């Protein structure tokens, strides 16, 4: 059984390890976009930005004393002259260690992320997902997410 809690700086090595697992999946799909394997602490500054901030946090799922999943969250107020102002939650990254995927852990982590975002003033939650990531797409569909926009890309060197 696992428990979910807010991360501390002491969790940073485990988050970096899980982040590397997630990044390796993305690198395999788009090596021209995502960095290859790196030093264990290469992305520590990136992951540290979402730990213990007033408007951002990282939730971790812990099992037997080990961090087996994480999700980074932030609450932002978006304003633009063309859009309605909105206070929204943003999911930055979610990662579940390979041995625990497809067992409901990601779904529970996202449910608790929704609770944190709501309690911190977000009216809705938004995230980006890469189209190759069918497992993540399925999870988000099951949680009621809808496609609102699509980002397209094309190499200019062709």
Asked whether the beta carbons of 84 and 117 are under 8 A apart, the reply is no
Chunked mean pLDDT (size 10), the chain, 158 residues: 95 97 96 93 95 96 96 95 94 96 94 97 96 94 95 89
Distances (CA, A) of 28 to 12, 36, 133: 24, 9, 11
Structure tokens at 40: 């264990």
83: β partners: 80
Segment (H or E) for 85: strand 83-96
pLDDT of residue 6: 97
Structure confidence by residue, pLDDT tens digits, 106-148: 999 999 999 999 999 999 999 999 999 999 999 999 999 999 9
Class of the domain covering 3-142: alpha beta
Sort strands 83-96 and 124-127 into parallel, antiparallel or unpaired: parallel
């Amino acid at each position: 059984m696992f428990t979910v809690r807010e991360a501390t700086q002491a969790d940073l090595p485990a988050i970096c390890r899980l982040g590397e697992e997630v990044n390796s999946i993305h690198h395999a799909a788009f090596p021209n976009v995502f960095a290859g394997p790196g030093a264990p602490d290469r992305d520590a500054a990136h992951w540290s930005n979402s730990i213990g901030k007033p408007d951002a946090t990282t939730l971790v799922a812990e099992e037997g004393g080990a961090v087996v999943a994480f999700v980074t969250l932030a609450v932002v107020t978006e304003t633009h002259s063309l859009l309605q102002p909105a206070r929204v939650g943003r999911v930055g990254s979610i990662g579940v260690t390979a041995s625990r995927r497809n067992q409901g852990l990601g779904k529970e982590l996202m449910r608790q992320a929704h609770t944190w975002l709501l309690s911190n003033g977000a009216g809705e939650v938004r995230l980006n997902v890469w189209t190759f990531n069918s497992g993540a797409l399925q999870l988000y569909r099951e949680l009621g997410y809808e496609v609102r926009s699509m980002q397209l890309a094309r190499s200019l060197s062709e």
